[in-house]
Structure 1
Amino acid sequence: MPPAGDPTAHDGETVRSVSLSGLTLNVRSRPPLRAGLPPAVYVHGLGGSSLNWSALMLELAGDLDSEALDLPGFGLSPPPDDGNYSVSGHTRAVIRYLDSCGRAPVHLFGNSLGGAVATRAAALRPDLVRTLTLVSPALPELPPQRTALPTALLAVPGIAGLFGRLTKDWTAERRTREVLALCYGDPGRVSPGGFAAAVTELERRLRLPYFWDSLARSARGLVDAYTLGGQHSLWRQAERVLAPALLVYGGRDQLVGFRMARRAGAAFRDSRMLALPEAGHVAMMEYPEIVACAFRELLVDTARLTAHAELGNASSPRPVPPEGE
């Protein structure tokens, strides 16, 4: 998903490259408005990048110290050395970054594929995640809604390359309009400047020799994750998440069915729901101010519960040892 927010949302961001064994991650940062704010990490969806979070990071600059990752093979991050684009591979990349950055536990955000990755990371490493905010998370939906089938077809070997050849004469402007029509509830919300920025970014990506490969193999990894059962099932892992969760669903989402909101609300043990009837697949880009408001409520409630728990522990009488000890 190319960025389509107001380009001014990107002003003031910094970008750096982080080298880990076997992969390099691009990290986009939004400086907090004051020191001491809690850390947050954002994970984008299939075909997206860290730019997808710029508008929300700007909204939350007074609440969080934010960093957004480019998953391996997306944005400005090169492909992983091992070529692993599975959900588990992307999850390992996020966990390795969180282990190395020295900022955990963090408030973890994920959209679409990034929502599946964030869910798995929170289930496997609860020590790294303070809260979990998922925007249209790509959790198994079987059968998928009809409008999601063309995206799922990217997982079929050869289809991505075929699509690239069939659309080789498409302009970047046409490609961008098609993506916005698929991902936005109302593409008309995109400003002319935002559209131009999205076109420029897509043109850059199309020149990358691994563009179609990283997209297709990540789509295949997501489809494979949908078929896993038992302890490796994404729904089973959602049930294991201990962190308080904010679940955001759009009523016009063509990729993740709005019907999945109810199942997700039942799966995550400590969750709250934000339903946006007019939003599509990327509510954090369409309605960043509303998503930010909902997260602030989660942040306040979580801090209050933590304070109560600490107060309760401090005021609990210590056990009196038996005489003679």
Structure 2
Amino acid sequence: MSSTELPESVAAAVDPRVSPVRVAEGETLRSVVLPGLTLAVRSRSATAEGAPPALYVHGLGGSSQNWSALMPLLADRVDGEAVDLPGFGDSPPPDDGDYSVTGHARAVIRLLDAGGRGPVHLFGNSLGGSVATCVAAARPDLVRTLTLVSPALPEIRVQRTAWPTALMAVPGMTGLLGRLSRDWTAEQRTRGILALCYGDPSLVSEEELGHAVREMERRLQLPYFWDAMTRSTRGIVNAYTLGGQHGLWRRAERVLAPTLLVYGGRDQLVAYRMARKASAAFRDSRLLTLPDAGHVAMMEYPREVARACRELIDDYDRS
């Protein structure tokens, strides 16, 4: 493995014209190069000596920045790293073009094995939740605890508000959506995403909105952005249809790590009702429900999520 520090001013390697990724105060960004795979990793060092490692995995269309609100709140408990999945954030596409849930999980496992950081406290949101579930089921030796925020696990009755996202998996649909939305500004796109993902988008400050718009502008400059979105969406849909031992719910049943499940009452992408099924599937689980939260509770209510995470980590340490 090779690791190269990337200062905030360095632009995405694929195109010198692409804007640099934002790095918040107290964070560092580095590139981890593996055979056929390069992953950007955002780090926030622990404030306590000897703190155990943690790894945060974002959702579809997101990036490691999605964890920037939660990571500092847990810095006294864990040494945090957040990965940009292949094709997202500042990570280029994988050489093999594998954007399946299993492919993303394999990338996370390779990162942990190469860095020798396991076992970690593992966090996942949405797509990252299904990825983290696969990692914990396949490699229990790599996971201390598991925290899943609105994990993308199969639903029989998908919410109507989630259908537009799922339709991206249909061949040709991304091109059609691109043509229909070609006149949309980055701010319009950003506000649409916030309306879909937040329980109350008005909670987003003007400064946060500005950061999100600039990140959207950056992503739209990437030649592979829509391909990564489409293929990853297709990967989720395909994972939903798998049965037997490879099904996501069967994998959830095999997770040994103590698990915290976080669900939002206003989530338009993962149904609130799935909290009960998830609680039954994960053998050692606890549940945090936030009635006013949407799909990204760790961004909307980081203090509440951090409090529950602290309890999970402290209980694990005592045991």
Q: Tell me the TM-score range normalised by the shorter chain.
A: over 0.9
- Residues in 2 aligned to 1:80 and 1:196: alpha-carbon distance in whole angstroms: 30
Provide the secondary structure at the position in 2 that maps to 1:32: coil
Deviation, 1:9, is: 8.9
- Residues in 1 aligned to 2:229 and 2:246: alpha-carbon distance in whole angstroms: 23
| Residue of structure 2 equivalent to 1:315 | none
Provide the secondary structure at the position in 1 that maps to 2:54: strand
Note the 1:103-118 alignment, pairs <5 A: 103-118=117-132
- Residues in 2 aligned to 1:25 and 1:162: alpha-carbon distance in whole angstroms: 30
| Residue of structure 1 equivalent to 2:97 | 83
- After superposition, what is the alpha-carbon deviation per residue over 1:131-186, rounded to whole angstroms, capped at 9, x for unaligned? 00000000001121111000000111111121112111101110000000000000
Q: Tell me whether 1:46 sits opposite 2:69 in the alignment.
A: no
Deviation, 1:11, is: 1.1
Note the 1:76-225 alignment, pairs <5 A: 76-225=90-239
Q: Tell me whether 1:290 sits opposite 2:304 in the alignment.
A: yes
| Residue of structure 1 equivalent to 2:17 | none
- Residues in 2 aligned to 1:159 and 1:87: alpha-carbon distance in whole angstroms: 20
Provide the secondary structure at the position in 2 that maps to 1:81: coil
| Residue of structure 1 equivalent to 2:14 | none
Any conservation in 1 of the 2:199–2:295 contact (CA below 8 Å)?
yes
Deviation, 1:34, is: 2.6
- Over the aligned positions, Cα root-mean-square deviation in angstroms equals 1.0
Any conservation in 1 of the 2:265–2:272 contact (CA below 8 Å)?
yes
Any conservation in 1 of the 2:23–2:29 contact (CA below 8 Å)?
no
| Residue of structure 1 equivalent to 2:260 | 246
Note the 1:281-320 alignment, pairs <5 A: 281-305=295-319
- After superposition, what is the alpha-carbon deviation per residue over 1:264-284, rounded to whole angstroms, capped at 9, x for unaligned? 000000000000000000000
- After superposition, what is the alpha-carbon deviation per residue over 1:80-134, rounded to whole angstroms, capped at 9, x for unaligned? 0000000010010000001111110000000000000000000000000000000
Deviation, 1:29, is: 0.2
**2:182 partner amino acid:** K
Q: TM-score, normalised by structure 2?
A: 0.92
Which of residues 77, 81, 88 in structure 2 aligns to 1:67?
81
| Residue of structure 1 equivalent to 2:7 | none
- Residues in 1 aligned to 2:61 and 2:71: alpha-carbon distance in whole angstroms: 19
Note the 1:235-274 alignment, pairs <5 A: 235-274=249-288
**1:282 partner amino acid:** V
Aligned-pair identity in percent equals: 72
- Residues in 1 aligned to 2:267 and 2:32: alpha-carbon distance in whole angstroms: 33
Note the 1:7-22 alignment, pairs <5 A: 10-22=24-36
- After superposition, what is the alpha-carbon deviation per residue over 1:217-237, rounded to whole angstroms, capped at 9, x for unaligned? 000000000000000000000
Deviation, 1:300, is: 1.2
Provide the secondary structure at the position in 2 that maps to 1:108: strand
- Residues in 1 aligned to 2:296 and 2:99: alpha-carbon distance in whole angstroms: 22
- Residues in 2 aligned to 1:259 and 1:242: alpha-carbon distance in whole angstroms: 23
Which of residues 247, 271, 274 in structure 2 aligns to 1:233?
247
Any conservation in 2 of the 1:86–1:222 contact (CA below 8 Å)?
yes
Query: Structure 2, unaligned stretches of length 5 or more?
Result: 1-21
Deviation, 1:22, is: 0.8
- Residues in 1 aligned to 2:30 and 2:168: alpha-carbon distance in whole angstroms: 30
Give the structure with the larger helix fraction.
Answer: 1
**1:144 partner amino acid:** V
Indicate the structure (1 or 2) with the bigger Cα radius of gyration: 1
- Residues in 2 aligned to 1:35 and 1:9: alpha-carbon distance in whole angstroms: 23
Provide the secondary structure at the position in 1 that maps to 2:70: helix
Query: Structure 1, unaligned stretches of length 5 or more?
Result: 1-7, 306-325
Q: TM-score, normalised by structure 1?
A: 0.91
